Amino acid sequence: MKILMTGAAGVVGTALRHELRQRGYALRLLDIREPAMLDGEEFIRGSIADAAVVAEAVSGVNGVVHLAGCTTDASMPEQIEGNIVGATNVFEAARLSGVERVVFASSHHVVGYYPRRRRIGTNVLLRPDSRYGLTKAFGEQLGALYADKYGLRCLAIRIGFANNRPADRRRLAVWISWRDLAQLVEIGLRHEQLRYAVVYGVSDNERSFFDNSTAFDLGYAPQDNAEAFAAEILAGVPAEDPDAVGSHVIGGHFANGEYDGSVSRVYEW
């Protein structure tokens, strides 16, 4: 199975390349910068904001793992270029080339203003905590539109924190290991009944903020749990600031940015 991975030079792409190669996938990589240590993979340098480049990149592949885009809470023009124009180009190129599957890297920041004391599924109203979360939500909805209107199959994965280990108290709840993320990506690429679904990209964390039953229904069986790192991480980090909204809600520091007013507002709905 040949896969186009956009944003392949990034943190997630670098680790997922390794996981997917091990699972037997042939990879074509698209990024504006060259990924480290190409290993039998094709590489196209170019931007997802350029529809012609994306059309060339999807040609002949069986599926797309779409990671590229704006990954910080940068200004709206940057969000629009990466997460709106770029994502639209990827779905449209897949449709025009007859590529049936798109796995979309969404983010838990689409629901980042939910208070942590609620355990939420993927059936709740969105509460984006940033321009980044807002434009990631657009990408999820592109997947829904293209699944319904054009018959694509799409899995949107609301990634929590993908890395070798969780980084702090909050990320003990949202961490996902590379092998668990690769398992979700494979569900998106292969599950026969999948039409469109949204899942949380988190491991089997004891402190999870999420009800990930949609993922479990698709066969996700996470192998890792952030709790294995808890003692070490909690010993090294200060207590969270109770006056910062990001200490109360799922999104953490993304929720803090530009927040104006009392923390109590996030508990009003």
Ligand X SMILES: NC(=O)c1ccc[n+]([C@@H]2O[C@H](COP(=O)([O-])OP(=O)(O)OC[C@H]3O[C@@H](n4cnc5c(N)ncnc54)[C@H](O)[C@@H]3O)[C@@H](O)[C@H]2O)c1
Active-site positions read 132
> Segment contacting ligand X (CB under 6 A): 63-71, 232-240, 245-253, 259-267?
63-71
Quote the least distance from Cβ 243 to ligand X, whole Å: 26
Looking at beta carbons, which residue is closest to ligand X? 10
- List 3, 4, 13, 152, residue binding ligand X (CB under 6 A): 13
Q: Is 49 in the site for ligand X (CB under 6 A)?
A: yes
Quote the least distance from Cβ 47 to ligand X, whole Å: 4
Quote the least distance from Cβ 31 to ligand X, whole Å: 4
- Amino acid at residue number 235: A
Q: Is 105 in the site for ligand X (CB under 6 A)?
A: yes
* Residues 17-46 interacting with ligand X (rule: CB under 6 A): 30-33
Quote the least distance from Cβ 174 to ligand X, whole Å: 8
CB-based contact 201:179 (threshold 8 Å): no
Q: Is 112 in the site for ligand X (CB under 6 A)?
A: no
Query: How far is the C-alpha of 200 from the C-alpha of 238, rounded, in Å?
Result: 27
Quote the least distance from Cβ 21 to ligand X, whole Å: 17
> Segment contacting ligand X (CB under 6 A): 88-96, 156-164, 187-195, 259-267?
156-164
- List 3, 4, 5, 12, residue binding ligand X (CB under 6 A): 12
Q: Is 107 in the site for ligand X (CB under 6 A)?
A: yes
Query: How far is the C-alpha of 35 from the C-alpha of 38, rounded, in Å?
Result: 7
Q: Is 11 in the site for ligand X (CB under 6 A)?
A: yes
Q: Is 210 in the site for ligand X (CB under 6 A)?
A: no
Q: Is 69 in the site for ligand X (CB under 6 A)?
A: yes
Q: Is 68 in the site for ligand X (CB under 6 A)?
A: yes
DSSP secondary structure string for all residues of the chain = -EEEEETTTSHHHHHHHHHHHHTT-EEEEEESSPPSS--S-EEEE--TT-HHHHHHHHTT-SEEEE--S--S---HHHHIIIIIIIHHHHHHHHHHHT--EEEEEEEGGGGTTSBTTS-B-SSSPP---SHHHHHHHHHHHHHHHHHHHH--EEEEEEE-EESSS--STTHHHHEE-HHHHHHHHHHHHH-TT-SEEEEEE--S-TT-SB--HHHHHTT------GGGGHHHHHHHSPPP-TTSGGGTBTTTHHHHTT--S-GGGGG--
Q: Is 143 in the site for ligand X (CB under 6 A)?
A: no
Query: Site residues (CB under 6 A) for ligand X?
Result: 6-7, 9-13, 30-33, 47-49, 67-69, 71, 82, 86, 105, 107, 159, 161-162
